[in-house]
Every structure is written in structure tokens, then in C-alpha cells.
Amino acid sequence: MQKQWQLASAATPEFFSSLPEIEPVLAQILWNRGLRSATAARAFLSDGLEPELSLDLTGEGDFVFYNPFLFRDMQEAADIVIKHIKQKNKIVVYGDYDADGVTSSAVLAEALKTLQASVEVYLPDRVSEGYGLNKPALDQIKEQGASLVITVDNGIRNKDEVEYAHSLGLEVIITDHHVLPESRNDLPACPVIDPADAEDKYPWPFLAGVGVAFKLVCALLYQSTLPAKQKFLIAERSLDLVAVGTIADMVSLLGENRFLVKRGLSILNQNRRLGLKALFQTAKIALGRPLEAWNVGWQLGPRLNAASRLGHANSAFALISAEDETEAVNLAQELNQRNLNRQQITEEIIRQVEMQIDKDNLPPIIIGVAGEGQHWNEGVVGLVAGKICEKYHRPTLVVARIIEEEAINQAEVGLQAAKLSFKGSGRSIEGFNLIAAIEECSEFLDKYGGHPMACGFSIDGEEKLNDFKDKLCKIAAENLTPEILAPKLSLDAVLVSREISLGLADSLARLAPFGQNNPQPKFSSANLRVDDIVWMGKERQHIKLRLSAVDGHDVFSAWAIAFNAADNFNDLVIGDIIDLAYYLDINEFNGRREAQLKIIDWHKI
């Protein structure tokens, strides 16, 4: 399906003139990222934060972040934690099962232990317990002698569960980053630290859960009487996990998140943490060159998430907390194998979903439902929905068929039929608010949640599922226009051949780390001639093109490469003239560095 190339609107002349020291191409990209003033652009490039909103953790100028006490309830939360530490009460860090939740739990638990707290971590099971606080878990926590529960990456919508915890005699602190309930009356009645709270004073509302946990750690360290050097070392030690959780959770990599991730990647590259080092080695991720955000997002994060998708997140937590090298290697191998299994399961479900799709007459929205006898792992249906959505550029829901275990056992002895329910996950495209559409169908749903680009839901019974599908398909048909359904490729700038250089590629590195809201810049160039074609790989699955400028006034020649996409170039021959969309990268080999184009898309002229 051919993509429509969409070039970003040009920055204003005033913006370019206000940044004379910055290359115009870089200035245009900063404009595209929403940095529309010279002050914002320079702050981005210098990693600056507003000094009047910042706190010097150590008093020596080497650890300055946004002041955690700008959170309305931070002082109260810190006082409660310190009280329980002094009273030697057990504190439970209640996390989540994804990479953000696991790293959040580790960051807070490690700091609390260093501060001499009695602390344990509780991670709920993805399938049997689901997301957030639940009452049976709180019963168990109370029975094991805890006095304080601190949530990380969850809890903002758990008003009833917090009230129940209070009835058990537990104090609760909520640290979260998810959207608040529509009514403030539905907020938990306890200290709440959440940057998404529009009524709070915190200047960066897009922290990941691990970023919020880190802020609580910084507040506790600031209040402590530890020497400045020790405060610095404790906080710095956490930053590798802050980077991992922030990148893996796909929150914005602008603002303070960019600041945290840049410092965290520098710590990650020192390979201090046994578990992460073992996981990189097991996954054959080269440690000879600096790890970048994409290594975390595409290689490390999926392996950490695989723990809960095909088992329990406790193994991921044990890995990143490991202090024994043999244990770290064994856990890394276990997670790597789970990820391989997850990939196989995902591919099989994708194949089964695609069998339900009429590829010659694509509907506005794709809804794949497991049939009888098809056991789709509910831990991966969101991944499947994302892959299908990306391939066909259609909002996609993938729904697993769930037969409750208790009902199955009863059916086996002939007492009653098994109870059938469904759990689904959805991913959307720009221009279609998925959660708004889901809310219009909420009368058929047991539970649901999400945001405009993704959702999760559960449905009791096949009749409600069919009614839900019918209404959702009608909503999609009414709102998804051909323009919205046309796949698009957003480009940052058009480069003429003389602008494509190693120097520009080096300059673009100043914009890293790349991720959500700060993607790797995408460019296009027109009228490039194919001078050579080289097929690579055992199955000739990769391709390299030697390209030159058609315009004789420019002396230009460069290699362009595409991995695992050779089939897309079957119609290309030497001498063809093409327009190319690409990333500008650097190829380093045997001490030699040269500009290289990584192909995204191409059109033959």
C-alpha cells in the first residue's frame, strides 16, 4: 500500500534568523518537534531545565532536576515514608507487570533498602489479577505484616481499593502517571503523586511511571541526612532503570524525560547492572558501541515485557535486581527464551487474524476474534493488534476467547457449561479516537480503558461481543474517511544532494535520544539515479543501492540500505531514477565513517 509523503510545514523566517548558530536543517527539525522559540530550541540542545523550577539534590550542582516538591502531595508522601522507615514498619512497593512497572518497583525498592527500610515488592499477575490494586492482594499484603503500600505506575483509578486498604489498617501512597478519573471525587483518598494532574504544579506532565518513582526517591534523599556524595551515588545508580522504563513505556522523549534518558543511557553504557548486561549479552546485542534508545525500545524492553506475557513479571524484577552473575545469566536466558516463544505465538495469531481479513476489500476497522479451539494468549493480543494496524493502516482490535477455569472444571463433571468471555486489545491510526469509539459501545463491555491510540476491554458472552462489533463497525464506517485511511509518511525536510553529508549526520546526533515525540528525522531527496544494486544476507533479504545525483552540478554518491525488505525492490534496475525517503545514518566500518541512507520508502520516477 503506497504511502502519501507529507512534508512538515516550513519554520518561519523569524525562527531561522533567531538561531544563527544552528544549521537550518536542525532548526527545521526542532520546529517540527514543537520547539517554536529560540529559547526552547537552545534548551533542548543544551539539556536545560528552568532553574527556578529545579532542585539541586546534593547542593554541589552535579544533580539538578525539576524539584520533586512541586508535586502537591510530595512532602506529605515523603514524611509518611520516613515515619515508617523510622518505626521499622514493613513497606510494600506495589508495581505493575510491564517494563515501566518493573523498573519503577526496582528503583523505589532499591532506594528504600539503602535508606534502611524494611521493604518488599508485589507485582500482580497479568492474567489472574490484571492491572492495578486488587483486594485479595491487599489482604495478602496485610497478612504478611505490612503497614504502608506505595504504588508505582498504577493506582490513580483505585479509589475503592485504597479505601479497602485503609479499612485493613494500611496506609497508601499512590505514584502514577496515567490519566486521572474524569471526576476528582473519584481520586483515591491518600497522597497522590501524578504529573498528569492538571491542578498540580509539576512542570513536566509526561513522566513515565519510573520517572515518578524516581522523583519520590529524590525527595527522600533530599530530606535525608546522608552525605552529598552518597545521595548522588544512590540517585545516579537508578538512572539506567529510569531510562529503560521511560523508553519502554513510549512516553514523550522531550522535556525532562529526554534529560533523564540521556543521563540514564550514559549509566546503562557503563554496564554496572549484572542483569541488564547479561540480558544484552544473551540477546547478542553488541556492547562494543554505545547503546542507544532504540536498543532499549526494540531489544531490551520486549524481553522484559515477555516475562509477564508468558509467565510472571517477578522474573524480570529478579533479573534487574540480581547481584549474582550466575543468577543473572540464568534469568537472562529464561527471559530471552520467553521472548522467542512470544514472537512465535504472536506470529501464529497474526496468521490466524489475517485469515479473517478480506485483503481485497479491507473494512474501515479490523476486528479479529479467536474462534472455537483457538487459544490466543491474552498477553500478546495487543502486540498482534499493533502489527496488523501497522501493516494494513486500519484501526485493529484483537479479541481472545476466555473460558473460566472454574467453569471448565464444573463442565467436566457435568454440572454446567463453561462460562465464555472475551478479552481484547486495540490499536488505532491518526484521526480515529479509539477510546472514544469504545466508550460509545460501553453498554456491551464489562471493563475497558485506554487512550485515543490504544485500548483494552473485556466482554461477557458472545451475544454482547457481536453487538459490540456491530456498533463499533458502524461508528468506524461513519468516521473513517478515505483520507484518514490512506497511509501517510511524515517527512521533516527535503534535502538536495549536496546537503547529504557526514557532517549533517553528525549534527543530527545532537537530537538524540530518539523516541516518542522526538523521532529520528526522516528526509526525502528527489531524482536520484541507481548506479549499483547489491543483495546481501544468506537469503538475499537485504539490499544496498549506490545512488548519485541526476543533476550534473552536484557531485554526489552514497549508499542506501534496506534490511529485510529486498522483495520491495524487485522492479528496480540499474539506471532507474527514484525519489527516496530515508534516515540519514553513519556507517562505521574498519575505522572508516561515511554517510549512509537507511531506506524508508521510494518511488520510481
Summarize pLDDT for 18-65 with one digit per residue, the tens.
999 999 999 999 999 999 999 999 999 988 888 889 999 988 888 889
The amino acid occupying position 593 is R
Per-residue b or e along 538-555, where b marks 16 or more CB atoms closer than 10 Å to that residue's CB: eeeebbbbebbbeeeeee
- pLDDT of 410: 47
Residue-wise pLDDT for 87-135, tens only, equals 999 999 999 999 999 999 999 999 999 999 999 999 999 888 988 999 9
Q: Is 269's pLDDT higher than 50?
A: yes
- pLDDT of 407: 43
- pLDDT of 590: 82
Percent over 90 (pLDDT), the chain? 83
Residue-wise pLDDT for 312-324, tens only, equals 999 999 999 999 9
- In this prediction, residue 2 has a pLDDT band, given cuts at 50, 70 and 90, of confident
- pLDDT of 589: 81
> Picking from 180-184, 335-339, 500-504, 543-547, which range would have the lowest pLDDT averaged per residue?
180-184
Q: State the average pLDDT over residues 189-208.
A: 94
- Residue 244: which of 258, 261, 256 has the closest Cα? 261
- Residue 157: which of 447, 459, 468, 452 has the closest Cα? 447
In DSSP terms, 577 is beta-bridged to: 529
Q: Is 417's pLDDT higher than 60?
A: no
- In this prediction, residue 408 has a pLDDT band, given cuts at 50, 70 and 90, of very low
* Cis previous bond, 513, omega within 30: yes
Q: Is 415's pLDDT higher than 60?
A: no
Cβ contacts of 541-545, under 8 Å, gap ≥ 24: 541/565, 541/566, 542/566, 543/569, 545/569, 545/572, 545/599
The residue to which cell 557526514 is assigned: 502
Q: Is 340's pLDDT higher than 50?
A: yes
Q: State the average pLDDT over residues 208-233.
A: 96
**Dihedral (CA of 242, 243, 248, 250) sign:** positive
- pLDDT of 127: 84
Bigger pLDDT: 314 or 592? 314
Q: Give the C-alpha distances (Å, rounded to integers) separating 61 from 54, 156, 215.
A: 11, 34, 17
What are φ and ψ of residue 358, in 5° steps?
Answer: -85, 100
Spatial contact of 581 and 523, defined as CB atoms under 8 Å apart = yes
- In this prediction, residue 450 has a pLDDT band, given cuts at 50, 70 and 90, of confident
Q: Give the C-alpha distances (Å, rounded to integers) separating 456 from 48, 187, 261, 447, 452.
A: 37, 21, 28, 8, 11
Q: State the average pLDDT over residues 255-271.
A: 94
- pLDDT of 76: 98
| Average pLDDT taken over every residue of the chain | 93
Helix axes 314-321, 325-354, angle to 10 degrees: 140
Residue-wise pLDDT for 463-509, tens only, equals 999 999 999 999 999 999 999 999 999 999 999 988 999 999 999 99
How long a stretch of residues is the chain?
Answer: 605
Secondary structure letter of residue 482 according to DSSP: H
Q: What is the pTM of this model?
A: 0.91
What lies within 8 Å, CB to CB, of 345 at 6+ separation is 310, 377, 380
- pLDDT of 51: 87
Q: Is 529's pLDDT higher than 60?
A: yes
Residue-wise pLDDT for 153-162, tens only, equals 999 999 999 9
Four-point Cα dihedral 21, 24, 30, 34, nearest 10:
120
> Picking from 93-102, 143-152, 448-457, which range would have the lowest pLDDT averaged per residue?
448-457
- In this prediction, residue 192 has a pLDDT band, given cuts at 50, 70 and 90, of very high
- Residue 301 and residue 279: Cα distance in Å, rounded? 11
The amino acid occupying position 196 is A
